[in-house]
Amino acid sequence: MIVFFKTIIFTQLFLLIHSLISTDNSKLLWMIGKWRGEFSGKVVWPTIPTMTFGEELEIREGYRAFVDNKNIHFLNFSAKAWSHTNKDQFHNEWGHFIANKNGEITLMTSGGNGFAKFEVGRFVGSDKIVLNLKDIGRISFSRDLPVEDLRRTFIKVGNDHMEQILEMRTATHPETGLLKHSKVVYTRIK
């Protein structure tokens, strides 16, 4: 009986959330929620020590905006990461996700590292999103090496897990192409 009621409640909640999400964003529905990777993050880069980190990612219903005579619907995006070495805050990002009717996805973020990024990509099947850097801005006194290119991939792994992989190129590494910078595996917590 309890399983029956849980199923009904979950179904009603799913239908409510689905009704709030625009048709264009409906393919992003599997990403909506709170995700956490406690010890699953790993950073690698030629100029820094390899380390593990934790990260919490949240994608939620955002807001509707009227742009160019069209009603568009943004999803809120936030990520916070911490170092396991010293428990310090490692990296934060805030921004917005949106998909259009042609299947193009845009992620706009600003981060605690002084970067603002504009990434555009597409769905690869129904369980993978690949975003590529279109533009980046940074404050003049940012300590990080200038990022010249970036690819961010989200992969759905079953119903309760998701991976995020970042590959990039800075002013010094690599000369061409991209290097894997980080990977984190999340578990859905909400």
pLDDT per position as a tens digit, 123-161: 998 899 999 999 998 888 776 678 889 999 999 999 999
**The token pair that represents 89 in the structure block:** 């805050």
Cβ atoms 106, 119 nearer than 8 A: yes
| pLDDT above 60 (res 16) | no
Least confident of 8-12, 54-58, 77-81, 144-148: 8-12
Least confident of 15-29, 77-91, 132-146: 15-29
CATH number at residue 67: 2.40.128.20
CB atoms inside a 10 Å sphere around CB 15:
10
pLDDT confidence of residue 10: 47
CA–CA dist 75, 95 (Å, integer)? 8
Q: Give the residue carrying structure tokens 């990296």.
A: 91
20 class by beta-carbon count within 10 Å (0-12 exposed, 13-18 middle, 19+ buried): exposed
Task: Give the amino acid at 31.
Answer: M
pLDDT confidence of residue 20: 54
CA–CA dist 27, 29 (Å, integer)? 5
The predicted model gives 80-95 an average pLDDT of 84
Mean pLDDT of the chain: 84
Domain count, the chain: 1
| pLDDT above 70 (res 83) | yes
| pLDDT above 60 (res 32) | yes
Q: Which structural domain range is residue 102 located in? A: 2-188
Cβ atoms 32, 59 nearer than 8 A: yes
> In the Cβ-directed half-sphere of 153, how many Cα atoms lie within 13 Å?
16
Least confident of 1-15, 21-35, 120-134: 1-15
pLDDT confidence of residue 157: 96
The predicted model gives 46-59 an average pLDDT of 89
Q: Please enumerate, as own/partner, the contacts of 119-126 that have beta carbons within 8 Å and a separation of 24 or more.
A: 119/150, 119/152, 121/152, 123/27, 126/27, 126/156
pLDDT confidence of residue 47: 84
For residue 123, the surrounding DSSP H or E stretch is: strand 115-123
Q: Give the residue carrying structure tokens 């990002």.
A: 93
